[in-house]
Chain A
Amino acid sequence: MMTNTAIKVSNLTHTVTSNTGDLTILKGINMEIKEGESVAIVGSSGSGKSTLLGLLAGLDVNTSGDISLYEHAFSSLDEEKRALIRGQYVGFIFQSFHLLPSLQAIENVMLPAELKGDKDARKKAEVLLDKVGLSHRLTHYPNQLSGGEQQRVAIARAFASSPKILFADEPTGNLDEENGKIIIELLFDLNQSQGTTLVMVTHDNQLAKQCSRQLIMSAGQLAEKTL
């Protein structure tokens, strides 16, 4: 069976302008991620992992080269169209959870479906929160939840739009070991059951090892880690 390409990157270079002059963060990166794969991007701090993740998800525009998500070339799209593609294909999990503080757990999870105009947003959110074991915390606000609970809400929110690709930026970075384990389990379970492609930036070697591929980022360049 032919597997579809979820993400394709060719000759990606990204330069930012700072006070001290231009700084090239990513240099000539080429890669391809197939649908259903789980990929960990590892590397030291400042190696460009998060920048790459942001570009892959269409959060920023690269300086040169091409990135395409399911054959939609990000480089040639404006923010309006990139947002539409994100809404259609992408889910996010962040290191600092990024829940909206003024919304309850259930409302946070409802957001992606509501943005799409889904009438069943609430029901779906309830199911997802149940799956992450928070059915008893539906109406709690983020500041009433522990770090682990907040990240579980974030995972439920990420899956609420039934994304084809899930981007995770250090998902366990702000959690203790025990909570980290719960999150990882949840993440991989949901990933598998929903058939999602997972692209994850992490420092955690154990976590990286659970992914089907590991890419090492070093000084703006990418290398495949061979096991």
Chain B
Amino acid sequence: MSFALRLMLRDIRSGDILTLVMALIISVSTVTSIGLFIDRLQLSFEQESANLLAADRLIRSDGVMPVEWQKKAQNLSLKQAERTSFTTMMFAGDTLQLTQMSAVTDSYPLKGAYLVDDTLFGTGKNSTEPPKPGQVWLSSRLASLLNIAIGDQVEVGEARFVVTKYLVRDPGSSASSFSISPRAVMNIADLAATQVIIPGSRVRYSLLLAGDRAALNDYEDWITPQLNDGQRWQTPTQKGNRIGDTIGKAESFLLLAGTLAVVMSGVAMALASARFVKRHLMQVAILKTLGATPRLLMGIFFVQLFILFIVGALVGLAAGWGIQGIISSLLSGLMSTTLPEPSISRLWLGLATGFVSMLAFCLPLMLRLINISPLSVLQPSAKIEQNTLLIYCVGFAGMYGLMCLYTQGFLLPSIMTLAIAGIGIVVAGLGWLAFRLGRSLTSGATSGWQIGLASLYRRLIPNLFQLLIFTLIIMLGLILVGVKSSLVADWQQQLPDDAPNHYLFNVQVDQIDQIDKETDQLGVIRSDWYPMVRGRVISENGKSIQELYPEGTDEPDLYERELNLTWASTLGKGNTLTSGDFTADGLSIEQRVAEEANLSIGDKLTINIGGNIVTLPITSVRTVDWGSMQPNFFLILPKEALQDYPANFVSSLFIADDNAQPFYKAMSQFPTVSILNVGDILKQIQTIIGQLSQAIQLVLLCILSAGALVLLASVRSTLEERLEEGALLRVLGARKTLVQQALFVEFGALGLFSGLIAAAGAEACLYGLQVFVFKSPASWHPLLWGLGPLIGICVICAIGIFASRTVLKVPPMLLLRDL
């Protein structure tokens, strides 16, 4: 033990141990920092989204919930709040208005805050407490409709309330279905006194929970089997909602980034180990001639690896912790919320990475080292007898294992491993051809260009290996750049800054011109007006829906409820025709609902519109971008089919913050028009998207830096041979510029080849990722084709020339002696 330690301490001076420890530190710290950072981001997203839900988790029910549900939450030490939402008439003297009322417990909201103001249409200040008993908060719109102000009294059912605040935002409002009536909030203690809830009333009960993640998961496991059709368990980042999807994509990206970091770490470890082994071959052979037995050597290396692991892992973990702290603090200036503290429990990932790296990349090579024949001291050409393929297999298996560990799944690691193997074959084939071509073009020549190209072929295997590593690293970087750009572009496209944030409903045809005038005066951007007529599909190709989907079977969305129908002569914004003719005399159906109901062009639907039956064939199918925030419809009918029915009109608008107050005031002249404000949820989504974009850029930067370090290590790994050759050339009288030119050509050619192959590989991988992982349309990335070769040539040349600068400065004699 002490001998192994002594030997290692002496070895530190040679720098090889340090290279190995550095590689391990890079591995552990990259994975740790990214792991911790992702964890913090996820927690932060959850918190942001929890603010929208007003809780960490929520159970929504159409009926009163059993008392046991609250008891269970109490047993698990979860914080609780209740919200009862219903539509009711609110009276202020002789004026009355249908109101969306929420009655909440004192503990509401568990997350986030109310935004309330003392002035009508004010922008609001945070309040984490709900109204006290006897008080009610009204939205400015409701107050202006009722023509009352703070301090006035209103009546709800049998109870009277004093208006104490104007409600700007209810933290849980976005979680419930959008309601068109203006909002009000009261204390749940007054609910019984109102006597508005009677058997048969349409009431939505919500039980809100917050607390420890494990306890919430326990609660979820317990409650899920008990939920009936009218009850739903909601989480902040649920799939299917926009925030959930956005975060899901970002998580996929970060996971991918982290996995690529794992691969790079593996490469770094493999390179450092290979260098260590190469430089220790003779040392081990000498030790063997001095009587060191394989068992003793094995003991020595085990001890050394163990110490290396401890040192590398500890420093790596500390560095990883520090790096994620730096990333977070850099980001804190940009992010609107502070990130939650990282959890120490996530550190195991870095430790596991270090351990598996040692096991997969270091140990097999070390064992190989032990098997070197002592005869090498007499015959340096004596080969190590061990299956090289086996070593690569172990390394590959280790890398795969690490990726599986990291992603907690097999799909992504399998895709990546196959891609890397495929690229290995392509690189070997193309590289061989290119080097061979270079050689045949330069035979018998002595210029720097020719020497450079010739040496590519002369060191064929190491150069092919290096080409593979360069290609891999550049490709991984390009993939990340590509994914990041298309992801961010996709998000920005999804939600432009001027995405509509208000809907106007219940607009009568004679109000349209007036509203247009008002909005034009305010400079508000508005979508087209769409007429809206309610109707229900009652049969499909002559067969009634009840017949097709008897009680108890799962109906498609299209048949489940009454639909909003419209007519239009041209395709609206965000709609794309996929088949058929939109102008034909028939129905235009949205693609997803058509697929769900198994409908295609030619199928006939019968619709009941206010008691009149209309049967029409489907003549076109279109996709709808539901994220465009434009009014969108499952079914669009020909104008003739709907024009005789009374229609309400709907439109969406973008109201800038400073325009909100004048807009609401202007709209108060149209009391029958309903306004739905989705701006808050949109803002929240935009904030999250903004944070995600910045976060993934930082992670990208972090990984690219790690990639540059690996490139450096890779160049260094073959530097000695190049230095030796350069020194020899100088001894033989070559000018400095010749050696410089030869090195430049060699590195430049390697960089160019790897950059080109990497661009091709990245393009292929991006196609797969876009189509299968991110589920977005595939696109072409011309940027990568320029960036790949450029990075390849510039970075590799710069690193190579910088690392070999000694060969150009130091007297050749000194170099030869050192080698």
Residues of A that sit less than 8 Å from B by CB = 50, 53-54, 57, 59-60, 79-80, 83-84, 86-88, 90, 92, 94, 98, 100-104, 107, 111-112, 114-117, 143, 157, 161, 169
Contacts and interface: CB of A to CB of B under 8 A. Distances in A.
B359 interface: no
Nearest to B288: A83
B290 A92 contact: yes
A151 B377 CA distance: 15
Nearest to B6: A114
A80 B293 contact: yes
Contacts of B289: 57, 59, 86, 90, 92
Contact of B291 (A50, A86, A104, A107): A86
A143 B10 contact: no
Contacts of A59: 288-289, 373-375, 377-378
Contact of A54 (B10, B375, B817): B375
A125 B384 CA distance: 32
B428 interface: no
A18 B282 CA distance: 23
Interface string B284-324: 00111111111110000000000000000000000000000
Contacts of B374: 59-60, 83, 86
A102 B14 contact: yes
Given A59-B378, A86-B290, A92-B377, A80 B283 contact: no
A143 B375 contact: no
Contact of B13 (A83, A92, A102, A157): A102
B700 to A, nearest CB: 38
A27 B620 CA distance: 91
Contacts of B379: 50, 54
A107 B373 CA distance: 23
A161 B373 contact: no
B728 to A, nearest CB: 18
B10 A161 contact: no
Interface residues of B, number: 28
A53 B13 contact: no
Contacts of A53: 378
Given A59-B375, A112-B291, A143-B818, 4 more contacts: A83-B292, A87-B293, A102-B14, A114-B6
A112 B10 CA distance: 15
Contact of B378 (A80, A103, A115, A169): A169
B134 to A, nearest CB: 84
A161 B14 contact: no
Contact of A115 (B10, B290, B375): B290
Contacts of B129: none
A222 B295 CA distance: 36
B3 interface: yes
Given A59-B373, A98-B377, A103-B10, A112 B290 contact: yes
A39 to B, nearest CB: 17
Contacts of B603: none
B283 A100 contact: yes
A111 B282 contact: no
Nearest to A170: B378
B516 interface: no
B596 interface: no
Contacts of B3: 114-115, 117
B293 A98 contact: no
B293 A84 contact: yes
B279 to A, nearest CB: 9
